[in-house]
Amino acid sequence: MFKYMEVNVRELLRPHLRAFKSYSSARLEYTGADAVFLDANENSLGSASEGGLNRYPDPIQFQVKEKISKVKSIAAEQVFVGNGSDEAIDLLYRAFCEPGVDNVIVCPPTYGMYETSAQLNNIQVREVSLTDDFQLQVDQVLATIDANTKMIFICNPNNPTGNLLDQSDITRLVENFKGIVIVDEAYIDFSPAESWISNLSKYSNVVVLQTLSKAWGMAGIRLGMAFGSKELVQILTAIKPPYNVSSLTQQAALTALGNKHLKEKMVQLILKQRDRLEEALPTFSYVQKIYPTATNFILVKVDDPNRLYQFLIKNNVIVRNRDTTHLCKGCVRITVGSEEENDELLKWMQEFDR
């Protein structure tokens, strides 16, 4: 254990990246809008589509980051934008974990991409299970850390369980770990909890992940966000591909972020439908338990999850079978749908009960 002191993320960086010079693209060397652009070997005549797509997109997503900074109340220099949160996860591995040497800690049941990305990067994953009520075992996590533990992944609210983790447990991990703690908040907009973004001024070793895919309804554009110290964001930006967020994605993101009122309206409608499902699901005889949720999905324990899953598929209702997931034996995960979709779900679940 150690008393929390500011963590120098530069010292955590893989040695060969400490002197790394990122690719300098044409659009980084000149950022103006009105000019005769003869520098990037684009097609100056236009494109086969509409909308000026013959030009490369802004490689640093300046306008998107500025908009996000206003929506999230954080400096634009602390915002990273990539192709979904999965890209940020992969870049964190590539920046801070030496293949075949370093390790990370995950707390199952949790989001599967943490482990998938680790495998792709040849990084050892150490698992410390959540408790039976899906909370962190902080002492066990701290005991699992060694000199080669570089990152701890925390999903809050957690996927696939849906619950919030104890805030003080997360704080204790952050304050007693000399590596990086990633707090994945993909579902934070459906939760009453305050985002960990508000704590970034206190902790230099925290990265917060969020997305436009859930509450904002923009899963199709694949835009994820990472928030952290200015230095950490600079590192992620330096090692990512230069034009990885397309012009179409950036424009769609700006449009969505300008409709915060619509996003908030959708969240309230989803929460209303979530309440409806939480009230209706226990009425079915085969439903054993509805787990507490702070997300747009519900984990439900049933008598025969495999048969229910197949029955619903046969009737064109697709849920997620979590029966083989650690601590989720007998469970299915149900996303909260629209009113009409939930009507269909409940109709067929009633039929299954006969």
Q: What is the pLDDT of residue 39?
A: 73
- Parallel/antiparallel/unpaired status of strands 180-184 and 206-211: parallel
pLDDT (tens digit, 9 = 90+) per residue, 187-196?
999 999 999 9
Angstrom distances, CA of residue 349 to CA of 38, 167, 292, 298, 342: 61, 36, 20, 15, 10
pLDDT at position 2: 53
Mean pLDDT of the residues in the chain: 94
pLDDT tens, N- to C-terminus, the chain (354 residues): 456 678 888 889 898 888 887 767 766 666 677 788 777 788 888 888 877 798 889 999 999 999 999 999 999 999 999 999 999 999 999 999 999 999 999 999 999 999 999 999 999 999 999 999 999 999 999 999 999 999 999 999 999 999 999 999 999 999 999 999 999 999 999 999 999 999 999 999 999 999 999 999 999 999 999 999 999 999 999 999 989 999 999 999 999 999 999 999 999 999 999 999 999 999 999 999 999 999 999 999 999 999 999 999 999 999 999 999 999 999 999 999 999 999 999 999 999 987
> What are the tens digits of pLDDT across the range 123-147?
999 999 999 999 999 999 999 999 9
Helix (H, G, I), strand (E, B) or coil at 328: coil
Order of strands across the sheet that contains 320-321: 287-290, 297-302, 331-335, 320-321
For β-strands 297-302 and 287-290, DSSP reports them as antiparallel
Select from 26, 144, 111, 152 the least CA-distant residue to 297.
Answer: 111
Residue labelled with tokens 């005991």: 143
pLDDT at 48: 86
**Which pLDDT score is estimated for 201?**
93
Domains and CATH numbers, the chain: 9-258 (3.40.640.10), 261-352 (3.90.1150.10)
